[in-house]
Chain A
Amino acid sequence: MLNPLRSEAEAFRFLIASIAYFGAIVIAQVIGGTWAGLGVFIALTAVVLGWWLRARRYERPRKTAPRPHAPGERRILVIANETVGGNTLRSAILERSRDAREEVLVVTPALNSPIRHWTSDEDRARADAQQRLEKSLAQLAAVGVEARGEVGDGDPLQAIEDALRTFGADEIIISTHPEGRSNWLERGVVEHARERFVVPITHVVVDLEAEERS
């Protein structure tokens, strides 16, 4: 998010811009009268708003690195929601945890509707995510993978960032539905995650319908 008061240098630039903005309005008003001043005010405000929206859209996210951890460990962070119980994901985790002292953290974002999110009504979303998580952890335990889990933020990118603050992952696995059925893929979650986090990211596609049929 663009914030003109994020640092002293940005605040200083904001001050200079404010002087230019109000200076132009005052000069227009003095030279051309009230309507000229109003015209310059509207035009400048439109330009500033347009610039701000454009700059905000293209602002690069900050790269987030995980906390360091003990050598010899392999830490895998798994982000999955409805696909958390999929066989493909389970196989991917199993494959990576072979021949290593692995530690697996499974995070299921508590997906919620925008209205419920903004009204902080997330109990149901968290309970559902918890249910899926427990089922998945039990399945992982059945195939011998030691994993722990937690329910994360509804935004998968935020959930990853939160998890990385306390879990020094060597790899992140993002599990989604196939293209066309995945809301996360439509939103470019995997691409955004690769831009934002320095940890290697593996994208695993889980087709739950195909798994059920077979």
Chain B
Amino acid sequence: MSAHAEAHHGPPIANHSSRVNASILGMLLFIASEIMLFGAFFTAYFFVRVVNGIPWPQPPFELPVFVAGVNTAILVTSSFTMHWALQSIKRGNRAGLQAGLLLTFLMGLVFLLTQAREYSRVGFAPHDGAFGTIFYCLTGLHGAHVFIGLSILLFMTIRAFRGHFSPENHHGVEIGGIYWHFVDVMWIVVYSTVYLL
């Protein structure tokens, strides 16, 4: 009988070991990068508002709190329809999945279009001082995330109508759902800090 240890020369053998499961590590790295990205803009926001003491919103401008509030309600509702869509396919309810994804997509689209309309009527531009710059950067950054989420939702919806998901196989909806909820959480933070507080 023979015994052997893997003989090796040169750099250490590539180790498949990891202290964190690969999928969780991927999601953690994604969250960390997003936190740093939004964190940079929020740091600028707090610097402008707290350190420099610029009034918020800077007179004579006003923020459309009510319209943004309605928009917030729409976006939060879209998370509920997203959750409903996933629960539906888990129970084998394909019509529920299709309706849930379609409603989520439409509400996301309404949110984005309302935000675009808000930009055209808000009365200030990104070059109107630090206040305007930060406002557009934070809401624009979030809008970009919504746009990415809508693209994912569009593909998910098309796939759902083509019969791609099943109670056993719905990973695509799960991942898209996680992203959509994350985008909603970021909007809750943006809306609370920029519009309400």
Contact = CB atoms under 8 A, between A and B. Distances in A.
Contacts of B79: 12, 15
Contacts of A7: 174, 178
Given A6-B24, A12-B83, A137 B4 contact: yes
B76 A19 contact: yes
B60 interface: no
B114 to A, nearest CB: 19
A137 B1 CA distance: 11
Contacts of A122: 12
A5 B182 contact: yes
Nearest to A141: B3
B interface majority secondary structure: helix
Interface in A152-179: 152-153, 155, 158-159, 162, 165
A17 to B, nearest CB: 9
Interface of B: 1-6, 8, 12-13, 15-20, 24, 27-28, 31, 76, 79, 82-83, 86, 173-174, 177-178, 181-182, 184-185, 188-189, 192, 196-197
Given A15-B79, A146-B2, 17 more contacts: A5-B27, A5-B182, A7-B174, A11-B181, A12-B79, A15-B184, A15-B185, A19-B76, A25-B197, A137-B4, A137-B5, A148-B5, A149-B5, A149-B6, A151-B13, A153-B19, A158-B18
